[in-house]
Amino acid sequence: MLFTELARPIFERAIRNYHITDDVDAPFQNPYPIGSIEADLYRKCWIDTVQWHLEDIIRDPHIDPAEALTLKRRIDRSNQDRTDLVETIDSYFYTKYHGITPLPDATINTESPAWAIDRLSILALKIWHMREQVTRSDATAEHRAACQRKLDVLLEQQVDLSTAIDQLLADIEAGRKWMKVYKQMKMYNDPATNPVLYGKHA
């Protein structure tokens, strides 16, 4: 099985399960075994799905400023969780392919496998919500038609991105590309590197 054939149904399951309650505070329950790549993929898409809806809520023009600040900080924490999980998924690939000797002419990819899979998770969310727009009974025919055209593009993009991810993994496995992972060095969350934070505590 190609990796994206494993990942896509897991992403769709996470999105579908979230929308059973459609509540950003719904308890998280992972249906896959702890420590498995399936569990990591499910949790990754769950984080993305909750954050998608937090981003909707914070754009309410009538939101209370104090509530907006609380949401902004929650979104920041979610972004950090997302980054940490992407690195966990990359560690899975790094371990899986660690023993492979790259060919002499092997090249490096512009992004790691997990960051490409991160985009596939977000794309699954876009497809879900664009489908909602296509079937909205309260929207005009023009709106639904425009959203259908966008959905067609998103579905084409999903095929192309899936193909590219599976090709990248095949190239790594064959030694045609070599995998190198850079840890994300976000400075604004770190009290040692954000001048507002370290200045405050100086």
Domain boundaries, the chain: 3-190
Which residues lie closer than 8 Å to 63 by C-beta, 6 or more apart? 57, 71
Q: Compute how many other C-beta atoms are within 10 angstroms of the C-beta atom of residue 169.
A: 21
Q: What local confidence, expressed as pLDDT, does residue 180 receive?
A: 79
In terms of phi and psi (left: phi > 0; alpha: psi -120 to 50; beta: otherwise), the region of 58 is alpha
Q: What local confidence, expressed as pLDDT, does residue 76 receive?
A: 94
Q: What local confidence, expressed as pLDDT, does residue 194 receive?
A: 72
**Vertex 6, ends 111 and 166: CA angle to 5°?**
40
**Vertex 106, ends 101 and 107: CA angle to 5°?**
130
In terms of phi and psi (left: phi > 0; alpha: psi -120 to 50; beta: otherwise), the region of 175 is left
Which residues lie closer than 8 Å to 131 by C-beta, 6 or more apart? 151
pLDDT in 10s for each residue of the chain, 202 residues? 999 999 999 999 999 999 999 999 999 999 999 999 999 999 999 999 999 999 999 999 999 999 999 999 999 999 999 999 999 999 999 999 999 999 999 999 989 999 999 999 999 999 999 999 999 999 999 999 999 999 999 999 999 999 999 999 999 999 999 987 776 666 666 777 777 667 765 4
Q: How far apart are CA 57 and CA 89, in angstroms?
A: 29
Q: What local confidence, expressed as pLDDT, does residue 165 receive?
A: 98
* Tokens read off for 50: 């909750």
